[in-house]
Every structure is written in C-alpha cells, then in structure tokens.
Structure 1
Amino acid sequence: MDEAGAAAPLSIDVYVAPMRPYISPDQLGEGEVATWAPSSSTLISGPTEGILIDALLTFENADQIAAWAKRFGKKITGVYITHGHSDHWLGLARLLQHFPAARGYAAPEVAARAAWEVEFNKRSKYWTSRFPGELSETPVVPEVLNTDEILVDGHVANLIHVGQGDIEGSTIFHVPSADAVVCGDVVYNNVHMMMYEADEAKREAWVASIDTVAALNAKTVVAGHKSVGAADRPENLAASQRYLRDFTTVAKKGGTVEDLVHGMLELHGERDQPHTLWISARAEVARRA
C-alpha cells in the first residue's frame, strides 16, 4: 500500500429507513400500532470503492439505499449481511440490480439462516402477507463468505462472529481505520429491542455479545435499528444491555402481556417502535406456558 492509500482511512456513512406501517395479522393490544422499525444500511468506503452492510427489506428500501449510495460516487463491490432476519437482506435482489458489479455475501451461519427464511416464507407467507407487492418473488440469498477480512481500497473491514444478537448466528463488521463497528441487531439505538427469539438465557448471551463489541473500543457504533437522526455513539452499547436486563427484571414479575409492556414503557418510553415491545412481550408470556 502506498503512503497516500495508507493515509486515507475508510469512511462510515449510514442510511436510515424510517419507521413505517405494515399489515399485521395479529390482534393488537390497546394503543398498539403495527409499524416496522427504522432500519439502517451502512456504506463503508474509501477513495474509490465501497461496500454496503445490510440490504433491508422492500423494493423501496433497496431503491432508496441505492440512490443514496450512488451520491458518494464509489464503486460498490459487495453487499454484506449481518444476520439472517429477512428485514436485513430480502432487499438484496433489488439492490444488486442497481449495482450489477457487486454480489451479496454473508458468513456461513448467516447465509444458512437466510436460506431457511426463504423456505419459511414459502410455507407461511410471513413476509409477503405483511408487505404485499413490496418484496422480490425470487429472493437472492447471500453467498457464503469464506473469509473474515474484507478489503476496501486496501483497508480491512473485519467480520466478527459474535453469535447471539436478537437472533443466533449474528455477525458484526469492525472497521479499524474508521474506528467504527457496524453491529446489525446486536445493538439498538433508541428503538425497542426485538426479543421474539430471545429467552432469558439468550438475552444473557446477547449481553455478552455486546461486551465483545465494547472491547473493540470503537468511537462509532452503528445499530441495525436506530431512530432517524440518532447519533452512532458507543453509549448505545450500555443502553442496549440495560434494556435487555430491564426486560428480564420486569418479565420476572409475572403478569400479563400488557403488564410487561407498560412496565418497560415506564423505563424506556422514549424509544421508537413500541410495536416491537408488544411482539417481544407476547413471546415472553407465551414462553411461560
């Protein structure tokens, strides 16, 4: 690497798709509104090249990410997916149409979950029923990435297998030259955290995953779900851990779904996307049965 290249660290820029309504088949609680969480896609770029982290969900998501990313004037060489939840990668087919030289990649555990989600949606119509006409009928599952080092204009972005986030098999992307880490759904930023698949033991493992992120001492910490305009500060690490532990504390008091929701709103009522809290509370109460 020449001196000019070595002197130019990578840059981090973040696009946030705002919270939006969707069609929910569930019976909603009093005051509950079915909205999808605000979600982020991150551009990691050097002087000439860039990669995107997470493709989000709908045609509109992908088109808006592409229009935003193209303004930076960088060659997009790949789209990398943090974890297998479909709202982070189902937009990949549409996004790659905008960047035909790029391909979609993910760690083996992420690609495996994405492939499972395709079959799950074929059977259940989970995603297509909630976002009719907004999703690709021929999803592109990310290719398996067999390295943990990704080069962008000669600089390394490291894929780290942290394990538990709001789903098992989660990964993050550490960018040392930018002093940044892109966390997917291991970290949340002013948004209620999804606990549908995370019981108490998994929440404790999730707390440990956040410790792994904290050990990187990054100054910029990008959450997979964040409020529009929220700063990507490392303080979101401790805030996410506090939320997870508070959820367990309130859940252990017993009571109804409504009790759990209202207890968490007393502690974290400033967060966006309370619908996610309702989903998490219903799942937690069901686990007691």
Structure 2
Amino acid sequence: MANNINLQVYHGVEATVNAYIFSDDQSIILVDCLRNSNEASKLAAQIKEMGKPLTHLFITHGHPDHYTGMNVIKNEFPDVRIVVNAPEIKADIINFSTWMESVGWLEGEPALKPKTDANPDGFDYEGNISILKRGKLILAEGAEIEAFSNYEPTECEHLTTLYSADLKAFFSNDFVYNGVHPWLAIDKQNIENWKNQLLEFANVLEKDLTIYPGHGKPADITVFEKQLKYINDFEATVAAAKSREEAMQKMQELYPDYTQADFLLVYSVNAFVAE
C-alpha cells in the first residue's frame, strides 16, 4: 500500500531550475530553492498557503541555482532543517559561496555572503546546514524519499538524486536538463562520467518511472537517451567549430526549442571554443 505523499513542482524562471515540494497531511519537505531571493519568496508564499510545517529544506548539490533561496526559506520558516546528503556537498556549497563573494557575485544577494568575523551578519553555512541521516527524507506520516550521492563527478563534483517508490518517480537532478541547454563548462572526464551515468540510468531504472529533472519539465525514461544525444552533439559541435559564434549557431539549430542559450550554452561553448 502506497504511503500518503503529494508532489508539487515549482518551475523557476532564472536558469529554468526546479524546486520540488513533497507533502503529506502533516508536513512538507522542500527540495532545492531556486536561483534568486525574489523567486524563493514566491516559493515560500506557496508553501505557506499549504498550512503545514516545512520540516526540511534539502539541497541536492553545491551549484547556486539550487541553493540561493536558502536565506529566504530559513527566514520564512525558522524551524526548518537545511540538509544535504553528504559532507562533500556541504563543503561544495561553502566553497562556492566563498568564491562568489570573492569575485563580487553575491552583491545582489548580500544575505548569502558567508558569515565571518568581518561579516557577522552573513549566512551561517556551517551552522545552518546539516547532513541527512541514513540517506532518507521522511515525511511526518512515514513516506520516504531515498537520496543517492555515490556518483562520479559529472555536471557537479557531488550530485544527489532522489527516488520515491510511492510516486514511482526518480528525481535525476542535474543529470538531466529537459528542453534546457545544460551546464557543460566542465572537465572532459566529467563529461565522460556523465555520459556513462546516463547510460546506466537508462538501462537500470524501472521503465515506467516519471523522471523529474533539475531543469525543465518532467519526462519519461527516454529523457536519458535524449540528454546523452545532446552531450554527444555538443562535443562534436565544439570540436568542429572555428569560432564560438559558429558553435552557438549550430547548437541552436540542432536544439531550437531549448532555453537558456544566452546563459548556460554560452558558458559551455566558451569553455571549449577559443575566441
């Protein structure tokens, strides 16, 4: 018998990133919290309308499009526990935030500047983020969501997926960008790892699962093959392109309906094609 569990998908605008709201009759668990505080405030308002306590904010990995809303969520829900699935992910978040402050990327999100002696009003990443016990998120009425982080470095050095047997759903996170240009400004070995993992997902996971990506809309299991094809096309394109403009044009011709060309695709192309 399936446990009582409901799912709402919050589709963010910036970076087309998703947040996932799991609930039963007594509690709510939020997975990821968007790319900016403005959108996170709207997400928080939607959760408040549900009229149940938010027990956990789970952050899947250390890229800021998935955790920038942390301060907003913490302020709106003071009792929420912010959790990650591994110490390495906590370290990734702290390191990325420290780097972003050093290059001025947090001037628009000052509340996310790390708390230090010089900045005592900053966000206390060390104190506010804890490690999830036993790799399971559990709603008040007992429904479980399993978390897995034992992957080789791919889109991110440490990435978490989730699985709900009750929902027959796999949350592939940033292994899949569905209808969105993926972040490929990464090492070539990471790309190879990514392709291998996509093949494993396609071959091992149950065929009737709904796949919920980190970016873009839900899909069926064929989305892993589509993501693999995109990566292969990207590799061939940047290898053959004589300029960044040529690579951009080719990828947009191949994937005319994909979003985030002016952000995610640009950075990916620039990482592999010289000026």
Give the TM-score taking structure 1 as reference length: 0.82
Distance in 1 of aligned mates of 2:168 and 2:159: 20
Q: Is the 8 A contact 2:62 2:92 kept in 1?
A: yes
Q: Deviations over 1:161-186 (max 9, x none)?
A: 13434211111111111111222211
Q: Deviations over 1:128-167 (max 9, x none)?
A: 3xxx257534235332334312212212211111343421
Distance in 2 of aligned mates of 1:93 and 1:12: 23
Q: Is the 8 A contact 1:163 1:171 kept in 2?
A: no
What's the counterpart of residue 177 of structure 2? 188
Q: How does 1:134-283 map to 2 (within 5 A)?
A: 136-137=112-113, 138-141=122-125, 142-152=129-139, 153-161=141-149, 162-196=151-185, 198-214=186-202, 215-217=204-206, 219-226=209-216, 230-275=217-262, 276-283=264-271
The 3 A distance-change label for structure 1 pair 74 and 164 is: farther
Unaligned 5+ runs, structure 1: 1-5, 20-36
Cα distance, 1:62 vs structure 2: 1.6
The alignment's C-alpha RMSD in Å is: 2.1
The 3 A distance-change label for structure 1 pair 134 and 159 is: same
Cα distance, 1:10 vs structure 2: 2.1
- Name the SS for the 1:283 alignment partner: helix
Q: Is the 8 A contact 1:39 1:56 kept in 2?
A: yes
Identity of aligned residues (%): 24
Matching residue's letter, 2:35: L
Q: RCO greater where, 1 or 2, for CA within 8 Å and sep 6 or more?
A: 1
Unaligned 5+ runs, structure 2: 114-121
What's the counterpart of residue 40 of structure 1? 18
Matching residue's letter, 1:136: L
- Name the SS for the 1:184 alignment partner: strand
What's the counterpart of residue 33 of structure 1? none
Cα distance, 1:63 vs structure 2: 0.8
Pairing partner for 1:109 from 74, 88, 100:
88
- Matched positions, count: 258
What's the counterpart of residue 66 of structure 2? 88
Distance in 1 of aligned mates of 2:36 and 2:98: 18
Cα distance, 1:70 vs structure 2: 2.5
Q: Is the 8 A contact 2:32 2:67 kept in 1?
A: yes
- Name the SS for the 1:191 alignment partner: coil
Distance in 2 of aligned mates of 1:157 and 1:95: 21
Distance in 2 of aligned mates of 1:64 and 1:168: 29
Greater mean alpha carbon deviation, residues 141-150 or residues 53-62: 141-150
1:10 maps onto 2:5 in alignment? yes
Distance in 1 of aligned mates of 2:231 and 2:64: 22
